[in-house]
Amino acid sequence: MTDTLPLEGLLVVDFSQFLSGPFATLRLADLGARVIKIERPGVGDLCRQIYLTDTEIGGDSTLFHAINRRKESFAADLKNPDDIGRLRRLIGHADVLVQNFRPGVISRLGLDYETLRKDHPRLVYGQISGYGDKGPWVPRPGQDLLAQARSGLLWLNGDREHPPTPVGLAIADTLAGHNLTEGILACLVRRGITGQGGLVETSLFEALIDFQFEVLTTHFNDGFRLPDRSGVNNAHAYLSAPYGVYPTADGFLAVAMTPVPKLGALIGLDELTAYEDPKSWFTERDAIKALLRDYLGQQPTEHWLSLLEPADIWCAPVYDWPTMRAHDGYRALDLEQMIRRAEDEVEIRTTRCPIRVDGDRLISEKAAPTIGMNTEAITAEFGLNG
């Protein structure tokens, strides 16, 4: 482990809740920043009670533990003027502030960027909303599935006859968190040059539109035709056959971009060798995929891999999580870590930061805090009682 992480010495005050903002501050924490999470006394971040299953550890959801590792907790009542005063003093020591309140809330607290920048011109201020700060969607709930629904993304997933199909992850939250982190780091670099902080803004909806850049750019420039999902084994509405996932005799096989006649010759499916025109790989996509689906189902996955991998065909077996974790390819990357909290002996296995710095993986054993766990120590350290 490297002795000095890139963001050590950086102080982040984090007012955000749920996923999008906390994901951004998680990445900053992984990179060495000190993150002080502001939580309501007694209740805390509502993410503490968002259960992905019926599993809780130390009174909190596994999701909360995963996204708030390495952070400190400062309990403050945002309706209490004394607590607001303490928070103002704390912000005076901060390099970065992050918030994802609904539009208008932070201004009523007097903690908006325009107010704070007057006294803290070096502050980098990051905020995430559901739909930006303009237009009729501004007051709508900024929630992941709802943002997905408005973004058009659901019409890219599933087969043609399927209804709109959401991505089975909080993809808008995590993408928006990534985008905010990128903007914050860019403003920190600028601050190092000019001495000035700045305001970084993004939204769940903007993150999803950016995520779809390749297909939307195609849509904008091909007469605004709608995406046409495959009727058979759809994996990408804009890519031709054989792109997709196919059942085998004992599992599933993913096949990416590959010349159809070459694929047919390798696996002995002579019907595919007739599709010599690459344009037909799209116009006849469903017919080609149907042939592959029926043929590949006759042999186990390893049989097909033994034919395709030596020929450098882009293919892969489809793993479930236990199979993935048992594989040497997964183990070699050391992607898991144990985080611990000595206060109540909480211990939880989670993923690690995917970034490596100076050849080292970023590992932290510090688990998410209990509500207000660090309030007294932070108050004393920064003299927040005035």
Find the radius of gyration of the CA atoms of the chain: 25
Residues written for the chain: 386
Contacts 24+ apart (CB under 8 A), 131-139: 131/203, 131/204, 131/205, 132/201, 132/203, 132/205, 132/206, 133/103, 133/201, 137/205, 138/103, 139/102, 139/103
AA identity, residue 224: F
Among 93, 219, 236, 303, which one carries the catalytic annotation?
236
Q: Token pair of 26, please?
A: 């998680």
- 289 touches 260 (CB < 8 A): no
Do residues 73 and 44 make contact, with C-beta atoms less than 8 angstroms apart?
A: yes
Torsion sign (Cα): 102, 91, 89, 372: positive
Residue-by-residue DSSP string for 7-55: TTT-EEEE---TTHHHHHHHHHHHTT-EEEEEE-TTT--GGGG--SSS-
- Sign of the Cα pseudo-torsion (83, 85, 87, 93, in order): negative
Amino acid (1-letter code) at residue 193: I
Structure tokens at 198: 């700045």
- The span from the CA of 49 to the CA of 221, in Å, is 45
Q: Which residue has the tokens 């993408």?
A: 175
| Two structure tokens written together for 84 | 């607001």
Instruction: State the sign of the Cα–Cα–Cα–Cα dihedral 318, 320, 322, 325.
Output: positive
| H or E element at residue 305 | helix 301-308
236 classed as catalytic: yes
To the nearest 10°, the Cα dihedral for 376, 379, 382, 385? Answer: -150
Residues in CB range of 372: below 8 A, 6 or more apart = 39, 41, 73, 74, 75
Q: Which residues are catalytically annotated?
A: 236
